[in-house]
Structure 1
């Protein structure tokens, strides 16, 4: 594939990523504005993330069987169609917004995972080994840029548009992604590898065996789950807290997400410098504690700005924490089982996000929305106090 085709492919993927960011902005606002119910926002978050997470184990096989191009076209076409139908159905049946939007997000979330994994597995086949680091850096840039530009643009448009109009805009962005891949012609045609359902199941079982053989991996996974739980609660409750509890305009929700995206980029650049002066273990534990402090601050926040500070502290520290987790666990996993074990760990980590949705759906009405931040942060604090000494003793990154 020549450079122009590569750029065309990456631009089409950026359009799709931007469409996904628009949905992440609009959906919680649509549901909360129409229901005024925090529990339903949490339930919608669960409905969104469950298919996104559970589809991960089959996404690689799906891409191998159909080929990246077919997966891209199918994913963008389905998401475009579903968003368009969702927009029209809301116009026709405004009393059924929760059901309509939840269905839209569950379908879009499933195909988001398919397109994401297809991109990860296709790019190495399209560029030379020498150009692969540059291509991967560009892909990282697409994710980071869309996470900043998407919410910022959505926040500006929210001043002039209704929330459900974002479904129409997302449909247009997915359409651009679809057309971009279509115009590539045969450039994305790569040889399709064959994989069996039995092989997928064997890989999952082998990954589970490695986890059980190395208890330290289970500890690291538990730490990641607790961090993701705090972040998940923040994602699920951001819209109702900002527009309801703090009584801010919808555009302020975009400001929150843009701030988180900017901090993610800042931490991305700080990591190489910090690791020159401190051990990866020390940085990881510090980042973990920063996430807990951010969670506590969100729980006790009595105004918008304190909540943003807590959100920024928690989300901005996850990048540094993930560097520690990835660096530590790769030294424990046998190299021949690295891919299948990491795949299972990622699945377990991501399951904490729909779990956060269930916690919000069930717990917000019983203990209060902000109390969920305090409780989850306290649980995470107790766990790190319990396992810190053996974790430090056994760490391979504490040098």
Structure 2
């Protein structure tokens, strides 16, 4: 979608949304899911080490944080299409090179170096494409006016569909075709996303300073107290979710003796339930408003995380993580809707980058915790994270209720 489209149409045409926003987002989301869930499984399969798996998870997310220091500014300055295509193309090259190296050196030091290098490179490039895709979604939401939450629910549905298929597909490809096949599929989706990106905005926004992208985004976020409190609560919540995501490959494969495909199935099943939650949240927001729906979703997420910390069976993880992601799906619809309504268009990508940067901070920390904490003690770490999640979300939504009452 081009920058000027919102000026002549309050509601973007469905065909324009599909061609310019939804299709590129779908291909990039598939690549994102394969990288996020597949690479830790590759590390487990290649090294068999819980410590290296946790370290690889941290290495995958740390460069993503670094990417946000420049990604939003680059999108605002150079346009969505240019950043999106470049990031997707480079990610395809990285995946193909790694696939070739692992096909030649399936085990040993060379294979370990390859998978440990693959994690930070794909993580870094994925966040550039993600910021660009989110900016395109923000433009579409602003053009939709009062229907912004419907556009955001579709975008979130695309992301959750990728999460539905991605973990399971990654596990199956790894189990039956090996790392090279999984990485080849990741490269194919990356190339497809780059090809489909023709509908994205290519023009730059001259108002963005080359040095002040993050400062501008941070200043904008601080000036939007409702968004700032919600982001703060979700940062605490993401600590628990990130710890689960980092620990689960180790718990399922190493401790429970299940396969890579079964580890992926947990997140795929969770994404399926989350799709239903997204649709429900959209209709509930239409009827009851943003904050009540967000508060209910927060309560579901916090309760499920606390229960997950005390389960010790595969089916327990399968069920409770699905419940957790139901709450997370509702919270994400609320966040994206609020973000699209409140952030000014001329600094959207820069402010978006700051919010995502804050939301991703727990992920490398979670990887380092999994690398450092003995597997037998992970349950205690998850319990502490669940209690913090409940406290953080309760504080955030109590504050949001106060802000809403004052503005009424």
Provide TM-score, normalisation by structure 2.
0.79
Q: 1:379 maps to what in 2?
A: 388
Cα shift at 1:205: 5.0
Q: How many residues were matched structurally?
A: 389
Q: Quick check: which has more Rg, 1 or 2?
A: 1
Q: 1:394 maps to what in 2?
A: 402
Q: Structure 1: how far apart are the matches of 2:190 and 2:344?
A: 38
Q: Structure 2: how far apart are the matches of 1:120 and 1:325?
A: 13
Over the aligned positions, Cα root-mean-square deviation in angstroms equals 3.9
Q: Could you say what secondary structure the match of 2:204 adopts?
A: coil
Q: Structure 1: how far apart are the matches of 2:400 and 2:24?
A: 45
Cα shift at 1:372: 1.7
Where structure 1 has 5 or more consecutive residues not aligned to the other structure, the ranges are none
Contact 2:51 2:370 (C-alpha < 8 Å) held by counterparts: yes
Q: Could you say what secondary structure the match of 2:404 adopts?
A: coil
Correspondences of 1:132-147 after superposition (within 5 Å): 139-147=155-163
Deviates more, 1:352-361 or 1:224-233: 352-361
Q: 2:165 aligns with which of 149, 158, 173?
A: 149
Q: 1:244 maps to what in 2?
A: 254
Q: 1:254 aligns with which of 264, 279, 284?
A: 264
Q: 1:309 maps to what in 2?
A: 319
Q: Structure 1: how far apart are the matches of 2:205 and 2:20?
A: 25
Q: 2:118 aligns with which of 77, 96, 104?
A: 104
1:196 corresponds to 2:206: no
Deviates more, 1:166-175 or 1:62-71: 62-71
Correspondences of 1:311-350 after superposition (within 5 Å): 311-323=321-333, 339=348, 343-350=353-360
Q: 1:296 aligns with which of 300, 306, 312?
A: 306
Q: Structure 1: how far apart are the matches of 2:290 and 2:372?
A: 37
Pair 1:397–1:81, CA change in 2 (3 A):
farther
Q: 1:83 maps to what in 2?
A: 95
Q: Structure 2: how far apart are the matches of 1:124 and 1:327?
A: 9
Q: Structure 2: how far apart are the matches of 1:378 and 1:120?
A: 31
Q: Could you report, residue by residue, the CA deviation over 1:130-184 in whole angstroms, capped at 9, with x for unpaired residues? A: 7996876654443232222333433444452224431122122223334445xx5
Q: 2:108 maps to what in 1?
A: 95
1:59 corresponds to 2:71: yes
Pair 1:335–1:90, CA change in 2 (3 A):
closer
Cα shift at 1:21: 1.8
Pair 1:247–1:348, CA change in 2 (3 A):
same
Pair 1:141–1:321, CA change in 2 (3 A):
closer
Contact 1:87 1:168 (C-alpha < 8 Å) held by counterparts: yes
Where structure 2 has 5 or more consecutive residues not aligned to the other structure, the ranges are 2-12
Contact 2:140 2:151 (C-alpha < 8 Å) held by counterparts: no
Provide TM-score, normalisation by structure 1.
0.81
Contact 2:64 2:124 (C-alpha < 8 Å) held by counterparts: yes
